[in-house]
């Protein structure tokens, strides 16, 4: 069956079911599914053009939103793997697209009606030299004091092959626990985490895509992308959706998160001290989920736990 057959594309309304029962069943059994043509061609071109311009202009760099995903940020040195968090903060039109509405509908079908966009991520792998992304589980980046339900929708903005670094998954890995991770080479100034737990990398399933196609994966699904050895730049736009996490202090520990401090986090800290926190509040307030007590509770507890953990670290 084709990828497009797994997607019901008759409507862009965010309150309708967009994926077929087969696609939903595949997602729940494998921990991922590929969907064809979730993003219309004209929007693929617009999103690609918008993101490339922001990378070219280093939009958000001083705020810590843009950084080198693979290496330390060095002034005057091109990033080996440019990355941008929350690009719609700088281009709000990204959330007014059919793609965003369809992605929201998919997330609500798979997670429930409380699902909302938690964040965005744009990743640019340069032609011929773009490095690989280590094997990891997305939940390994989250606070261990919460219980989550989350998924990511990874949009291809040009054809993506194994050669250019398509997504690769370990089918069924979402049913297991969060495995042990570490910073690459033990360097906690770097952004990636790599899974060093026990799993069979030979079972990797590559998922090539056409422009406008997507993969949807669970936050515990093991995945990675290879290097871009092709002659074309590989650009991806990722939307992350979740439902209100449940606070469970002491639930578990993620020692690999202790002591992590990247260059972009340091820039963001300086920016906040210079008044950037007011800009960030202004950007986030229109999207705040103030109508739901569950979302309000999570936002309060998350802020409190961050302050508390920071205080403990300084003692």
pLDDT at 251: 85
Helix (H, G, I), strand (E, B) or coil at 266: helix
Q: Is the dihedral of CA 245, 248, 253, 258 positive or negative?
A: positive
pLDDT at 86: 96
pLDDT digits (tens, 9 = 90+) for 297-307: 766 666 666 55
Name the average pLDDT for the chain. Answer: 90
pLDDT digits (tens, 9 = 90+) for 63-88: 999 999 999 999 889 999 999 999 99
CATH number (domain holding residue 74): 2.60.120.620
More confident residue, 239 or 6: 239
Confidence of residue 295 (pLDDT cuts 50, 70, 90): low
Q: Is the pLDDT of residue 202 over 90?
A: yes
pLDDT digits (tens, 9 = 90+) for 89-115: 999 999 999 999 999 999 999 999 989
Q: Is the pLDDT of residue 166 over 50?
A: yes
pLDDT at 312: 38
Mean pLDDT of 24-39: 97
Instruction: Please give the C-alpha separations between residue 314 and each of 253, 308, 310, in angstroms, as whole numbers.
Output: 19, 10, 6
pLDDT at 293: 66
Residue 104 is encoded by which pair of tokens? Answer: 């929201």
Confidence of residue 9 (pLDDT cuts 50, 70, 90): very low
Residue 308 is encoded by which pair of tokens? Answer: 């508390």
Structural domain span for residue 210? 4-314
Q: Model's pTM, two decimal places? A: 0.91
pLDDT at 281: 79
pLDDT at 298: 66
pLDDT digits (tens, 9 = 90+) for 244-284: 998 888 889 999 999 999 999 999 999 999 999 888 878 87
Question: Given the structure tokens 């929201």, which residue do they identify?
Answer: 104
Buried b (16+ CB within 10 A) or exposed e, 132-150: bbbbbbbbbbbbbbbebbb
CB under 8 A, 24+ apart: contacts of 89-95: 89/60, 89/65, 89/283, 90/54, 90/59, 90/60, 90/65, 91/50, 91/54, 93/46, 93/50, 94/47, 94/50, 94/120
Q: How many domains in the chain? A: 1
Most distant CA pair in the chain: distance in Å? 58
More confident residue, 276 or 206: 206
Q: d(Cα 50, Cα 94) in Å, to the nearest integer?
A: 9
C-beta separation of 192 from 137 below 8 A: no
Instruction: Please give the C-alpha separations between residue 143 and each of 252, 257, 299, in angstroms, as whole numbers.
Output: 9, 8, 13
Instruction: Please give the C-alpha separations between residue 157 and each of 41, 44, 152, 160, in angstroms, as whole numbers.
Output: 9, 6, 16, 8
């Amino acid at each position: 069956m084709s990828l497009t057959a797994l997607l019901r594309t008759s409507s862009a309304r965010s309150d309708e079911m967009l994926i077929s029962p087969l696609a939903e069943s595949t997602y729940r059994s494998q921990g991922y599914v590929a969907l064809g043509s979730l993003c219309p061609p004209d929007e693929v071109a617009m999103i690609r053009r918008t993101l490339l311009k922001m990378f070219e202009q280093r939009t958000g760099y001083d705020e810590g939103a843009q950084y080198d995903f693979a290496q330390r940020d060095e002034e005057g040195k091109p990033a080996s793997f440019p990355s941008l968090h929350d690009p719609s903060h700088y281009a709000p039109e990204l959330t007014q697209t059919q793609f965003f509405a369809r992605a929201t509908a998919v997330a609500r079908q798979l997670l429930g009606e409380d699902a909302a966009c938690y964040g965005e991520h744009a990743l640019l792998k340069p032609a011929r030299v773009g490095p690989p992304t280590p094997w990891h589980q997305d939940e390994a980046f989250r606070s261990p004091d919460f219980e989550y339900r989350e998924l990511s929708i990874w949009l291809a903005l040009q054809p993506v092959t194994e050669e250019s670094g398509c997504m690769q998954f370990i089918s069924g890995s979402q049913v297991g626990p969060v495995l042990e991770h570490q910073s690459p080479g033990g360097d906690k100034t770097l952004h990636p985490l790599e899974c060093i737990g026990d799993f069979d990398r030979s079972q990797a399933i590559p998922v090539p895509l056409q422009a406008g196609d997507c993969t949807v994966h669970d936050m515990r699904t093991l995945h990675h992308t290879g290097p871009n050895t092709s002659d074309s730049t590989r650009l991806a736009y990722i939307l992350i959706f979740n439902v209100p996490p449940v606070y469970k202090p002491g639930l578990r520990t993620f020692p690999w998160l202790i002591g992590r401090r990247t260059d972009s986090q340091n820039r963001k800290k300086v920016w906040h001290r210079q008044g950037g926190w007011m800009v960030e509040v202004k950007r986030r307030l229109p999207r705040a989920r103030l109508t739901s007590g569950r979302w309000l509770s999570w936002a309060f507890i998350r802020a409190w736990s961050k302050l508390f953990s920071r205080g403990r670290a300084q003692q």
